[in-house]
Structure 1
Amino acid sequence: MKEKKSHYSTVPEHYILSPESEPWLERFIFNNRGIVMLLLAIITMVFAYGLSKVTLDASIEKYIPLNHSYIQNYLVHKDEMKSGVANVKIAVEVTNGDVFTAEYMEKLSKISDEIFFIKGVDRSGMQSLWTPNVRWMEVTEEGFQGGPVIPSTYDGSKESLEVVRQNVLKSGQVGRLVSNDFRSSIIDVPLIEYDPETGEKLSYGQFSHDLEEKIRSQFSDDQYKIYITGMPKKLGDLLDGAKSIGGFFLMAMIMTAILLYLYSRCPKGTVVPIVASLIAVVWQLGSLALAGFTVDLYSVLVPFLVFAIGISHGVQIINGIAIESGKGASPVQAARQAFRGLYVPGMLALLSDAIGFLTLLFIDIGVIQELAIAASVGVAMIIVTNLVLLPIVMSYIGISRSGVEHARKSDANPAAIWRGLSMFANRKVAPIPIVIAIVMAVSGYYYSQGLKIGDLDKGAPELRADSRYNLDNAFMVSNYSTSADVFVVMVETAREHCNSFKVMDAVDRFMWYMDNVEGVQSTTSLVTVSKLVTKAMNEGNLNWSALSRNQTILNTSIQRAPAGLLNPDCSMAPVIVYLNDHKAETLETAVAAVEKFKEQFDDHVDEKYFGYGMAEMDEAIANGEIDSAPVRFQLASGNAGIEAATNQVIADAQNTMLIFVYVVVFVLCFMTFRSFTAVACILIPLALTSILSQALMTYLDIGVKVATLPVIALGVGIGVDYGIYIYNRLEVMIVAGKTMQEAFFETLRSTGKAVSFTGITLAIGVATWIASPIKFQADMGILLTFMFLWNMLGSLILLPALASFILRPERMKARHKARHGDTPPAG
Structure 2
Amino acid sequence: MKNATFGKIERAFERLIHHRRWVVLTVALLTAVMGYLATHVEVKTIFSDLLPKNHPYVAVNQKFKSTFGGSNMVSIMVETDNGDIFDTKVLQKVQKLTVGLQQVDSVDTYQIVSIASKKIKEVRASTEGVESRPIMWPNLPQTPGEMAVLKEAVLNNPLIYGPYVSMDLKATLITADFLDGEINYSKAFDQIMGLVKEASGDGVKVRVVGEPVLYGWVNFYLDETLKIFFAAIASLVLILMLITRTWHGTLLPLLAGVVSAIWALGAARLMGFHLDPLVIVVAFLITAQAISNSVQLISRYDDEIAAGATSSAAAALASVKNLFKPSMLAIVADAGCVLVVALTPIPMLEKISYIGTVWIFSILVSALLLTPVMLSYFKPKQSYVHPLNIRPLLDAVLRLCAKIVTTRWRYGVLGTALVVFFVSGWYAFNLKVGDANPGSPILWPDSSYNRDATDINRQFQGSDRMFVVVAGKEKGALREPEVLKSMSDFQRYMEAQPEVGGSISLADVLPQVRRVLREGNPMYAELGNDANENGELTYMFVSGSDPGDMDRYADADAKNGAVTLFFRDHQGETIRTAIARVQDYVAQNAMEKADYLLAGGLVGVLAAVNEVILAGQIEAIALALLVLVVCCTVTYRSTVAGVFFMIPVMLSNTITFSYMAWHGIGMNINTLPVVALGIGLGVDYTFYIVDGIREELHHSDNVEAAIIKALSSAGRGVLITALTLITSVGLWSFSSLRLQADMGLLIALWLFISAFSALFIMPAIVYVFRPAFIVGSKQRPIERASSAVVV
The TM-score bracket by the shorter chain reads: over 0.9
Report the equivalent of 1:191: 178
1:114 paired with 2:121, answer no
Is the contact between residue 273 and residue 314 of structure 1 (CA under 8 Å) also seen in structure 2?
yes
- Please report how far the alpha carbon of residue 358 of structure 1 lies from its aligned counterpart in structure 2 after TM superposition: 0.9
1:768-821 deviation digits (Å, cap 9, x = unpaired) = 222211111122122221111011101111101110122257962777778798
Whole-Å separation in 2 of the counterparts to 1:767 and 1:826 = 43
Report the equivalent of 1:553: 533
Report the equivalent of 1:528: 508
Query: Which segment is superposed worse, 348-357 or 444-453?
Result: 444-453
Q: Of the candidates 314, 332, 344, which is equivalent to residue 351 of structure 1? A: 332
Q: Of the candidates 40, 46, 61, which is equivalent to residue 33 of structure 2? A: 46
Whole-Å separation in 1 of the counterparts to 2:47 and 2:9 = 53
TM-score by length of 1: 0.88
Q: Of the candidates 118, 143, 158, which is equivalent to residue 132 of structure 1? A: 118
Is the contact between residue 648 and residue 757 of structure 2 (CA under 8 Å) also seen in structure 1?
yes
- Please report how far the alpha carbon of residue 737 of structure 1 lies from its aligned counterpart in structure 2 after TM superposition: 0.6
Is the contact between residue 302 and residue 374 of structure 1 (CA under 8 Å) also seen in structure 2?
no
Whole-Å separation in 1 of the counterparts to 2:588 and 2:512 = 28
1:650 paired with 2:621, answer no
Whole-Å separation in 2 of the counterparts to 1:387 and 1:541 = 82
Report the equivalent of 1:174: 161
Is the contact between residue 207 and residue 452 of structure 2 (CA under 8 Å) also seen in structure 1?
yes
Q: Of the candidates 563, 584, 599, which is equivalent to residue 587 of structure 2? A: 599
Q: Which amino acid aligns with 1:402?
A: S
Report the equivalent of 2:546: none
SS at match of 2:581: helix
- Please report how far the alpha carbon of residue 225 of structure 1 lies from its aligned counterpart in structure 2 after TM superposition: 2.3
Is the contact between residue 242 and residue 774 of structure 1 (CA under 8 Å) also seen in structure 2?
no
- Please report how far the alpha carbon of residue 492 of structure 1 lies from its aligned counterpart in structure 2 after TM superposition: 0.7
1:11-37 deviation digits (Å, cap 9, x = unpaired) = xxx99xxx9796243234223323222
SS at match of 1:490: strand
Whole-Å separation in 2 of the counterparts to 1:506 and 1:274 = 65
1:92 paired with 2:73, answer no
1:550-601 deviation digits (Å, cap 9, x = unpaired) = 2221112223264311123322111112234222222222111111222246
Q: Of the candidates 243, 255, 274, which is equivalent to residue 294 of structure 1? A: 274
Whole-Å separation in 1 of the counterparts to 2:109 and 2:689 = 63
Whole-Å separation in 2 of the counterparts to 1:274 and 1:119 = 42
1:256-310 deviation digits (Å, cap 9, x = unpaired) = 1121112211023211221221111111111211221111133333331232111
Q: Of the candidates 223, 231, 252, which is equivalent to residue 272 of structure 1? A: 252
Whole-Å separation in 2 of the counterparts to 1:21 and 1:740 = 29
Q: Which amino acid aligns with 1:125?
A: Q
- Please report how far the alpha carbon of residue 663 of structure 1 lies from its aligned counterpart in structure 2 after TM superposition: 1.0
Q: Which amino acid aligns with 2:676?
A: A
Judging changes above 3 Å, is the alpha-carbon distance between structure 1 residues 56 and 494 closer, same or farther for their aligned structure 2 residues? same
1:314 paired with 2:286, answer no
1:739 paired with 2:699, answer no
Report the equivalent of 1:576: 564
Equivalent runs, 1:432-443 vs 2, <5 Å: 432-443=412-423
Report the equivalent of 2:657: 694
Report the equivalent of 2:711: 748
Is the contact between residue 354 and residue 379 of structure 1 (CA under 8 Å) also seen in structure 2?
yes
1:730 paired with 2:716, answer no
Query: Which segment is superposed worse, 160-169 or 641-650?
Result: 160-169
Unaligned runs of 5+ in 1: 1-13, 195-200, 603-627
Q: Of the candidates 359, 368, 374, which is equivalent to residue 349 of structure 2? A: 368
1:659 paired with 2:649, answer no
1:490 paired with 2:469, answer yes
Judging changes above 3 Å, is the alpha-carbon distance between structure 1 residues 653 and 509 closer, same or farther for their aligned structure 2 residues? same
1:812 paired with 2:776, answer yes
Whole-Å separation in 1 of the counterparts to 2:497 and 2:195 = 39
Is the contact between residue 299 and residue 367 of structure 1 (CA under 8 Å) also seen in structure 2?
no
- Please report how far the alpha carbon of residue 531 of structure 1 lies from its aligned counterpart in structure 2 after TM superposition: 2.1
Is the contact between residue 299 and residue 374 of structure 1 (CA under 8 Å) also seen in structure 2?
no
1:76 paired with 2:66, answer no
Report the equivalent of 1:585: 573
Whole-Å separation in 2 of the counterparts to 1:67 and 1:121 = 26
SS at match of 1:386: helix
Whole-Å separation in 2 of the counterparts to 1:408 and 1:116 = 65
- Please report how far the alpha carbon of residue 151 of structure 1 lies from its aligned counterpart in structure 2 after TM superposition: 5.0
1:706 paired with 2:650, answer no
1:719-763 deviation digits (Å, cap 9, x = unpaired) = 221011111111111222152221111111111011012112222
Whole-Å separation in 1 of the counterparts to 2:61 and 2:279 = 27
Q: Which amino acid aligns with 1:802?
A: I
Judging changes above 3 Å, is the alpha-carbon distance between structure 1 residues 583 and 124 closer, same or farther for their aligned structure 2 residues? closer
Whole-Å separation in 2 of the counterparts to 1:662 and 1:750 = 28
Judging changes above 3 Å, is the alpha-carbon distance between structure 1 residues 499 and 157 closer, same or farther for their aligned structure 2 residues? same
Judging changes above 3 Å, is the alpha-carbon distance between structure 1 residues 398 and 320 closer, same or farther for their aligned structure 2 residues? farther
Query: Which segment is superposed worse, 184-193 or 323-332?
Result: 184-193
Report the equivalent of 2:203: 223
Whole-Å separation in 2 of the counterparts to 1:190 and 1:389 = 51
SS at match of 2:566: strand
Whole-Å separation in 2 of the counterparts to 1:432 and 1:739 = 23
SS at match of 1:225: strand
Equivalent runs, 1:240-639 vs 2, <5 Å: 240-329=220-309, 330-398=311-379, 401-402=382-383, 415-426=395-406, 428-480=408-460, 482-496=461-475, 497-559=477-539, 560=541, 562-600=550-588, 630-639=593-602
Q: Which amino acid aligns with 2:355?
A: A
Judging changes above 3 Å, is the alpha-carbon distance between structure 1 residues 251 and 551 closer, same or farther for their aligned structure 2 residues? same
Q: Of the candidates 76, 84, 87, which is equivalent to residue 101 of structure 1? A: 87
Q: Which amino acid aligns with 1:812?
A: G
- Please report how far the alpha carbon of residue 187 of structure 1 lies from its aligned counterpart in structure 2 after TM superposition: 2.4
RMSD: 2.8
- Please report how far the alpha carbon of residue 136 of structure 1 lies from its aligned counterpart in structure 2 after TM superposition: 1.6
Is the contact between residue 166 and residue 172 of structure 2 (CA under 8 Å) also seen in structure 1?
yes
Whole-Å separation in 2 of the counterparts to 1:360 and 1:785 = 21
SS at match of 1:397: coil
Q: Which runs of 4+ in 1 moved over 6 A?
A: 19-22, 404-409, 813-821, 823-827
- Please report how far the alpha carbon of residue 823 of structure 1 lies from its aligned counterpart in structure 2 after TM superposition: 7.6
Judging changes above 3 Å, is the alpha-carbon distance between structure 1 residues 381 and 641 closer, same or farther for their aligned structure 2 residues? same
Is the contact between residue 282 and residue 674 of structure 2 (CA under 8 Å) also seen in structure 1?
no
Is the contact between residue 462 and residue 775 of structure 1 (CA under 8 Å) also seen in structure 2?
yes
Unaligned runs of 5+ in 2: 543-549
Is the contact between residue 326 and residue 407 of structure 1 (CA under 8 Å) also seen in structure 2?
no
1:95-126 deviation digits (Å, cap 9, x = unpaired) = 33332222223333333333222222222322
Judging changes above 3 Å, is the alpha-carbon distance between structure 1 residues 590 and 177 closer, same or farther for their aligned structure 2 residues? same
Judging changes above 3 Å, is the alpha-carbon distance between structure 1 residues 268 and 811 closer, same or farther for their aligned structure 2 residues? closer
Judging changes above 3 Å, is the alpha-carbon distance between structure 1 residues 39 and 233 closer, same or farther for their aligned structure 2 residues? same
- Please report how far the alpha carbon of residue 494 of structure 1 lies from its aligned counterpart in structure 2 after TM superposition: 2.1
Report the equivalent of 2:545: none
1:674 paired with 2:637, answer yes
